[in-house]
């Protein structure tokens, strides 16, 4: 066989081609490169499997080493172990019936306390038998005061409304009858208005003064001014005291202007001209004009 035929046979065998067939050099090169790539891929796969196997073997060795270390470590003594607070158990004291000397032994006439074994317990200081503990006093719950019946409240309100209606219609006797035995600033003021309507100025002034002492709202000033008006003639000193005591002359009160004008008149009646002049100047400075 000639050298050319030998080369062709070798290439044909490499390409799995029958001998005598024309060989394409490019095809031979392409197949050679493809086979080289396949061999390289197989080599990488074999290396990857080797690395994975080595990692698994290392993990197994580490696990075996940790297990061996845990088994070979000596146990800690109990004295060094700490007990969690939740693990502590407190034994509850036995009930009174289970304590020595607390059982009652029945006898023929009744029951007496059974004595403990040995002598009686002695008090630490006196040597006498210790006194039995006193029983706790039963707790007494405070009883709330009884609430006022609603029917009574409604009845009082209806009575007050009826008295006001009677006063508006001029039925002063009905107001006096309804206010008999009643207390409080509102009833006193209604009674004073009824007495004034009947022309009974002295008892009306007394009722107005009592109402001024009992009321705490704006009606206090009205009641005091009304009482001062009724007492201006017979008792100007008392009228002046009412104006000053119950806030009629207080700045920006509901009846300040009328109260200051009445104050000047009362001071003139009492011959206290210097005070009257001062009060009149104060009136003019605040309200303008004369107090007459």
Q: CA nearest 176: which of 215, 209, 203? A: 203
* pLDDT top residue among 148 and 165: 165
- Record the tokens describing residue 236, joined without a space: 């100007």
Residues 228, 248: contact at Cβ < 8 Å? yes
pLDDT attached to residue 22: 59
Mean pLDDT over the full length of the chain: 75
pLDDT tens digits, 71-110: 776 555 444 444 444 444 444 555 554 444 443 344 444 4
pLDDT attached to residue 197: 96
SS3 of residue 216 by DSSP: coil
Q: CA nearest 225: which of 179, 257, 268, 183? A: 257
Q: What's the mean pLDDT in 246-268?
A: 94
Whether pLDDT at 146 is above 80: no
Name the residue ranges covered by the structural domains of the chain: 3-56, 162-287
Instruction: Work out the pLDDT band at 4, boundaries 50, 70, 90.
Output: low
Name the CATH topology of 162-287.
Answer: 1.25.40
Instruction: Work out the pLDDT band at 1, boundaries 50, 70, 90.
Output: low
% of the chain at pLDDT higher than 70: 62
Alpha-helical segments (H) within 16-121: 25-72
């Amino acid at each position: 066989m000639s050298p050319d035929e030998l080369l062709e046979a070798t290439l044909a065998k490499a390409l799995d081609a029958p001998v005598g067939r024309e060989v394409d050099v490019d095809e031979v090169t392409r197949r050679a490169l493809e086979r080289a790539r396949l061999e390289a891929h197989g080599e990488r796969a074999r290396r990857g499997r080797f690395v994975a196997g080595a990692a698994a073997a290392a993990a197994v060795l580490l696990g075996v080493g940790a297990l061996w270390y845990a088994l070979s470590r000596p146990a800690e003594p109990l004295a060094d172990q700490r007990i969690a607070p939740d693990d502590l158990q407190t034994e509850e004291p036995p009930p009174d019936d289970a304590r020595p000397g607390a059982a009652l032994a029945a006898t023929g006439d009744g029951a007496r306390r059974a004595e403990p074994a040995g002598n009686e317990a002695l008090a630490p200081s006196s040597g006498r038998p210790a006194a039995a503990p006193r029983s706790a006093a039963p707790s007494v719950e405070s009883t709330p005061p009884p609430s006022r019946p609603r029917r009574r409240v409604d009845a009082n309100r209806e009575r007050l409304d009826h008295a006001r209606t009677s006063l508006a219609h001029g039925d002063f006797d009905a107001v006096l009858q309804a206010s008999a035995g009643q207390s409080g600033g509102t009833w006193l003021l209604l009674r004073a208005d009824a007495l004034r309507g009947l022309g009974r100025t002295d008892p009306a002034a007394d009722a107005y003064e009592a109402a001024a002492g009992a009321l705490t709202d704006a009606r206090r000033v009205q009641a005091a001014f009304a009482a001062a008006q009724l007492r201006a003639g017979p008792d100007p000193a008392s009228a002046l005291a009412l104006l000053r005591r119950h806030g009629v002359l207080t700045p920006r009160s509901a009846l300040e202007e009328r109260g200051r004008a009445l104050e000047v008149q009362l001071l003139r009646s009492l011959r206290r001209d210097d005070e009257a002049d001062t009060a009149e100047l104060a009136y003019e400075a605040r309200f303008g004009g004369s107090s007459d």
